[in-house]
Structure formats: C-alpha cells, structure tokens
Chain A
Amino acid sequence: MSLMNGDLFAPYWILSGGILVTLILSMIRVETKRPAQISAITTLLFTFFAAEGQWGVSTTSLFHGAIEISSFGMMILILLCGLGILFCVGSSRYLTKEGIHYSDYYHLVLILILGSSLMAAAKDLMAFFIALEVLSIPAYTLVGFRRNDSRSNEAALKYFVMGSVLGAFYLFGCAMVFGATGSTDMSAVYRWSQQNSRPELLFLIGHSLLLIALFFKVAAVPFHFWKPDVYEGAPTAVTGIMASIVTVAAFVGVVRIVHLVDYQAAGWESYAMWIKSSLRGLAVLSLGYGALVALTQTNLKRLFAYSAIGHTGYLTLGVLSSLTQSQNLYAIWVYLIGYSLMSAGIFILMGQSAPQADAGVELIDLTGLMKRNPLQTVVWGVFLCSMAGLPFTAGFIGKYAVFTAGIDAGETVFVVIAALCVVVNAYTYLRPIALMVMRDADPQAAQWSGSVASKTISVLIALAVIALGVLPQQFIVQLKEISLSH
C-alpha cells in the first residue's frame, strides 16, 4: 500500500486537470462556447485512452486504502468518458436552441463524470460519500440549467432537497457503521463481518441507512417519487445524463454498499435473508410500478422516467442474484452498459426532435414521422426496440444476462415476474413505433434539427446498440473477468 502512486492515478489526474482548464476557458471566453467544448472533449478523450491503457492492471490501493485502482474502476471510467463525449458533442445544438448554451455545461459534466468514476474507485465509505457529493452537486445545478424556466428550477429544487436529505441519511449510516466497526474502510468492514459472528444492531441500522440512500439514488419504488418530476423538468440533454451517467454511478454504488459485508460468514444468515427479501420487494415493486404507470404516459420524458424505474427493477434483480453467487455481477454490468448507451442515444435524439424550444416531446409529436424522415424513424425504432428488449439489441442481451443470473441464483419466481413485465413494457415502447409508421404525417410535429455531428452521434449510438446485440460474446467474456475486490 502506498500513499500516492501517480502513474496509476493518472486517468483521474488528467480528468481533474481538464476540469480546471475547462473552467478557466469558460471564464475568459464568454462569447463563444467552442473552446470549453473542445477542451472538455479533449480531456475526456485523453482520460479514455489513459484508462484504456490501464485495463487489466492488478488491483492496487492508493491514499491509505481510500481509492482502489482496478479493472473494474477502469471499465466504469471508460464507459463514462465515452458517454460524456457523446453528450458533449451531441447536445450543443439542443442547448443553443433552448438558449442555455453556457460554457459551464461542459465543466459541470466533467465534474459529474469525475464524481461518478471515483464512486467506482472508492474503497472507503467517506471517500465514497465525497465522490457521491461531487456527482450530486453538479447534477442539481445541471437539472436547473434552464434557469429562467420555473419547471426546471422546481425540478432542481426537488432533486436538491431529496438528494441532500438522503445524503444526510448516508452520512448518519456511515457514522453508525464507523461506530460499530471502528473503521470506514470497506475492506476493514468486510473483515469485521467475517470475524464478528453476531451482527450488532448499530451496524444493522447504519447499513440500512446506507442502503436507503443508495436505493433513493437509483429510484427504486418506494424511493422513486422524485424521478418523473426531475426527468420532466430537466433540459433534455441533462435528462439523458441523469438516465445514463448518474444511473451507472448509482448502481455501482448500490453494488458496493450491498456487498459491504460477507453474507456467507457464520452468524450472518438471517441478515442475508433479510437483505434478500428487501431486494426482492424493491425489485418487484419497481418492475410492476414502472411497467404499469409508463403505459398511460403521453410525455416522452415522463414515459422514460417511469420506464427507468422499471429498469431499476431488472437491475435490482441482478443485484439480488449477485448475493448468492458473486460472479453473477457480470449481468449487472452487461445490463448497465446497454441501458446507459440506449438512454444516452434516446435523449440526445429527443433533444434534436423537439418541435420547438422549451417543450418536451409529446408522444403525439412523433405521429407519421416515417413519411417525413425515414432515417430518424429507424434510429428511434432501434432505441425503442432495445428498451423493450427485442432480440439483436443491447437491451435484449442485458435482460438475457440478468434473467440467466437470476435463474442461476434460484430466483425463478422473480425472473417469471420480470418476464411478465417485459411483455407489459413492450406495449409501452412499441406504441410510439406504431404511431410513427402507421399514421399520416402531421405538419406540426417533430423535426430533426441538429448539426451533422450530433445527428451522426445518434446514428452511431444506434449502430453500437445493434452491434452489442448481435455480437455480445467477446464483450460478455471480458465483463465476466471483472470482479469486485473486498
């Protein structure tokens, strides 16, 4: 263990340095946004390749065990940098259309990515909390980015109040875990659980508070109530960031906190049962609620917010199956990578499709799109099919992986419930496709505005979603090698 090992921490140093450069550029050149945008994209590219160069690194802890450099952390960093590049390139025209193209967007996105990637690297509950706040504070600001629009402000404030309260829950839980185990180091807590055969009440309350805070971040029912409002009020590009980058980070957090103790250790059987039944409850409620409420939505952002609650349910099923066999964790990563790609694509495309500024896309706006713009319709179709989990898309591979993992872990009943929800979800996602293809064109409806670069980005994401669905083998093999260290 070393205090600092500069080489290994390099990707995070590059990202941090890039944040400062972008911040300075956004301050000195206020009339044009290009320098900040280019600086942000360059930073993300450099970080991407630095992280890619460290793929397969042996697990090393830095800063007295607060941060851990591992393949897992690098995988998350690579994924988040890729998503960040998509948003930095793909949403500039949308932001201009809305009149909110400030340079601050780019450094806020970079800070958010730094926080999210450090959440995957943190091995100490306090470092994890700091990463969580580094992620949350830019997220609050970004949600309120349309600062002259009261809906955006309201969404930001709701998110802020809920997020801060749950941040305080996390902290209180963290203090209790510290009180029970004498350390906030995750490895030390894990070892404590192996040596201590009787879970203390103090630890149980603390761990539950930590779990509540994290399940709030992923919006599992009954902690979901903020999600539709925040998704609707936020600018569309930011909704995309919430649905992809923040979801990835939050689920990484859930996995870390759930796996804080050794459930196979002697004396922890009843606690493992309790955690499993809570996860089952959360999964079933999220799946059912998300599937049913999404059916009646007419605003596309709200529709995808409720469907995101449903996706949280599938992912919770993955977390549940990883409790029995920790190699099942790969299913969560497969699902998360596919889901984050398709939600990034769908929200970038939605930003380009909005009929006028200051309005979300309503379902009705898509009517007859096929006649006006076949390529755009195909891209929409790919994303919607992937969300529904049709074969040959990334969404299908994710659901397949989660269901296989669930059956492996003996959760057959819950896999059957999830499969029923897939059927209900299919109606939600295929209805827009039917509207686009079967109805006549409506002159008032959605356009495809956007620069060539941002249109290309949407098409490329659609191709990536199909590529993951057609050739998943190599990709799954790589992900199976990734394991969490304790």
Chain B
Amino acid sequence: MIFQLWMPLVLAVMIFLIGLMGVIFRRNLLIMMMGIELMLNASNLLFVTFSKIHQRVDGEVMSIFVMAIAAAEAAAGLGLVIALFRTLKTVNSDSIQLLRD
C-alpha cells in the first residue's frame, strides 16, 4: 500500500482517542498522565502532517513548542503526584475523594 497523507491523520485521531480513554478509564494517576502525553503527541502528529499538506514549516515549529510545554507540564504534574503520595500513600484516583458535596 502506498503511503498517503490521510493515513497519519487517522493515526493521530486514533492516538488522541486512546489517550483520552486512558485518562477516563484508568485509575492510576501515572497512567492517566501517560494518556495526557499521548493526546499531546497526537496533536504533534496532526501538526506535522498538516504542515506537510500545506507545504509550510509552521506546523513543525509548533510541534517543538508543544514538546517543551508537555515537558514543563509533566514536571509540574509529577511534583503534584509525589506530594499527594506523601500525604495519602496512594496514586489510585478512586481513593482520592476527600472533596465532594
């Protein structure tokens, strides 16, 4: 099968949905963070593909920005997970239910 430009688009949407499912259905906070990273990387793939379709480098530059931001966000998030683990001794999102009506 010859490579065509719609293929990475479909792949990007699939990766995005897999990441979203990971955030919604998995209970481990670290796995949820992996899901978020998958969603961000799916957007990167979309940017790069559209960049190729439009014959412009904009999208490729965007994907580098996104990587930097994803790293910063992961750093902040892991810090929060560690702080939570110190107080509650768990990374399971089901057992974190102190705040509710």
Contact = CB atoms under 8 A, between A and B. Distances in A.
Given A140-B76, A157-B84, A175 B20 contact: no
B74 to A, nearest CB: 9
Interface in B36-56: 36, 39-40, 42-43, 46-47, 49-50, 53-54, 56
Interface stretch (A226-234, A335-343, A464-472): A226-234
A161 B93 CA distance: 11
Given A149-B87, A157-B84, A183-B58, A175 B23 contact: no
B65 A130 contact: yes
A99 interface: no
Name the residue in A160, A171, A176, A229 with the highest tally of chain B Cβ atoms < 10 Å from its Cβ. A171
A150 B32 contact: no
A20 B29 CA distance: 32
A161 B19 CA distance: 12
A121 B31 CA distance: 36
B83 A184 contact: no
B57 interface: no
Interface stretch (A78-86, A162-170, A378-386, A428-436): A162-170
A126 B29 CA distance: 28
Interface residues of B, number: 43
Interface size class of A (residues with CB under 8 A): 35 or more
B58 A178 contact: yes
B7 interface: no
B54 A147 contact: no
Secondary structure type dominating chain B contacts: helix
A141 interface: yes
Nearest to A153: B84
B81 A157 contact: yes
A232 B32 CA distance: 23
Interface string A164-208: 110111011011101100111000000000000000000000000
B66 interface: yes
Given A148-B87, A178-B50, A126 B96 contact: no
A172 B80 contact: no
A232 B65 contact: no
Interface in B44-101: 46-47, 49-50, 53-54, 56, 58-59, 62, 65-66, 69, 72-73, 76-77, 79-81, 83-84, 86-88, 96, 98-101
A338 to B, nearest CB: 29
A153 B77 CA distance: 11
Contact of B83 (A129, A147, A174, A178): A147
B69 A184 contact: no
A130 B84 CA distance: 27
A160 B50 contact: no
Contacts of B33: 161, 164
Contacts of B46: 172, 175-176, 179
A262 interface: no
A178 B62 contact: yes
A161 B87 contact: no
A156 B80 contact: yes
A160 B69 contact: no
A174 B58 CA distance: 12
A153 B99 contact: no
B59 A168 contact: no
A414 B46 CA distance: 39
Contact of B23 (A165, A228, A302): A165
Given A161-B36, A229-B100, A126 B23 contact: no
Contact of A140 (B53, B80, B98): B80
A69 interface: no
Nearest to B13: A172
Interface string A250-269: 00000000000000000000
Contacts of B96: 154, 157
Contacts of B88: 150, 153-154
Contact of B73 (A150, A167, A232): A167
A161 to B, nearest CB: 6
Interface string B14-32: 0010011001000001001
Given A156-B84, A165-B39, 17 more contacts: A126-B62, A140-B76, A140-B80, A147-B86, A150-B87, A153-B80, A153-B83, A154-B88, A156-B80, A157-B96, A164-B33, A165-B36, A172-B39, A175-B43, A175-B50, A228-B99, A229-B100
12 contacts: A130-B69, A133-B69, A137-B72, A150-B87, A150-B88, A160-B76, A161-B32, A164-B77, A165-B20, A171-B43, A172-B43, A229-B99
- The 7 A-B pairs at the shortest CB distance, nearest first, are namely A168-B39, A175-B46, A179-B50, A171-B43, A229-B99, A150-B87, A153-B84
Interface of B: 12, 16, 19-20, 23, 29, 32-33, 36, 39-40, 42-43, 46-47, 49-50, 53-54, 56, 58-59, 62, 65-66, 69, 72-73, 76-77, 79-81, 83-84, 86-88, 96, 98-101
